[in-house]
Amino acid sequence: MPELSVPGPLIVPSVLPADFARLGAEVRELCAAGVDRIQWDVMDGVFVPNLTFGPDVIAAARPHSTVAFEAHLMVVNPDQMLAEYISAGCELVIVHAEACTHLHRTMARIRDLGARSGVALNPHTPAETVAHVLAETDLVLAMTVNPGFGGQRYIAAVEPKIARLRGLIDESGYAIELEVDGGITADTIGGAAAAGADVFISGSWMYGYPEGKAAAVKRLRDAALTGEAVR
Ligand code: DX5
């Protein structure tokens, strides 16, 4: 199993913009570009309008990757398929707090199944939602768009929540990654990093970068470090 990445800033692409007809090659290209992990945006067409892929597609891509996989479950009932996403090769599974009646139990079950646990918060969901599950948490994801589609505009109004989450994490003393996802570009990543994020999901900007993915990864990492420097 590939080692999880070293402390941030971590640059993690979403495969949402990839050519799904050549996913193995796309995953190899992302690894060659120097990404730290790869995120699989799992959408069920209910929690979010869009519909993407399940564990079988992720499992098919797994042999092509030298980096860890994370599954971002934008689904109404994440508990029912946790084991399948982990068996498919996801070392980190992220559920939405808004989809979990018993979030504490779900986070503990992800760890019991052998993966690292992540919890995502939609832009409207308060940071305090995770205050009582940090002991069960390896990653908090602050969505900087409303989930469901790539290519959306970054919601800068989430930055105070990112800062609040950074405070909660630092006060807890737990080694918890703080990830942001949605509209992350070289122009927006600095604000998210300055607010306290250390893991950055990029889809459309990275895939559309004229100089290619490796240059995009370097540009994002440099911009994140600059943002952190002003923190
Ligand atoms: C939304 C998705 C997107 C994707 C990244 O549900 O989670 O945020 O990962 O998309 P971009 O980088 O194109 O905003």
Please give the distance of CA 196 from its chain centroid, rounded to a whole number.
15
- From 5-9, 81-85, 112-116, the region with the lowest mean pLDDT: 5-9
Percentage of the residues of the chain whose pLDDT score is greater than 70: 97
Judged against a pLDDT cut of 50, whether residue 113 lies above it is answered with yes
DSSP symbol at 26: H
Per the CB < 8 A criterion, the answer to whether 58 and 70 are in contact is no
Q: Say if ligand 1 is within 6 A of residue 13 CB.
A: no
Catalytic residue IDs:
41, 181
Query: What is the pLDDT at residue 230?
Result: 76
Q: What does the pLDDT look like over 12-34, one tens digit per residue?
A: 999 999 999 999 999 999 999 99
Banded pLDDT at 7 (limits 50, 70, 90):
low
Distance (Å) of CA 203 to CA 30, 83, 146: 11, 26, 14
Per the CB < 8 A criterion, the answer to whether 130 and 165 are in contact is yes
Instruction: Please state the rounded mean pLDDT for residues 207-225.
Output: 97
Q: Which residues contact 187 (CB under 8 A, 6 or more apart)?
A: none
| pLDDT: which is higher, 50 or 2 | 50
Residue of minimum CA distance from atom 1 in ligand 1: 147
Atom number in ligand 1 closest to CA 148: 6
Q: Say if ligand 1 is within 6 A of residue 183 CB.
A: yes
- Between the CA of 42 and the centroid of ligand 1 the distance, in Å, is 11
Atom number in ligand 1 closest to CA 41: 7
Judged against a pLDDT cut of 50, whether residue 2 lies above it is answered with no
DSSP structure string for 97-114 = GGG-TTHHHHHHHHHHTT
Q: Say if ligand 1 is within 6 A of residue 145 CB.
A: yes
| Two structure tokens written together for 141 | 């994801």
DSSP structure string for 126-165 = -GGGGTTTGGG-SEEEEESS-TT-SSPPP-GGGHHHHHHH
Atom number in ligand 1 closest to CA 74: 6
Q: What is the pTM assigned to this prediction?
A: 0.96
Q: What does the pLDDT look like over 138-185, one tens digit per residue?
A: 999 999 999 999 999 999 999 999 999 999 999 999 999 999 999 999
Instruction: Please state the rounded mean pLDDT for residues 39-45.
Output: 98
Q: Give the right CATH number for 10-226 from 1.20.140.90, 3.40.50.150, 3.20.20.70, 3.40.190.10.
A: 3.20.20.70
Judged against a pLDDT cut of 50, whether residue 4 lies above it is answered with no
| Two structure tokens written together for 62 | 């797994």
Residue of minimum CA distance from atom 8 in ligand 1: 182
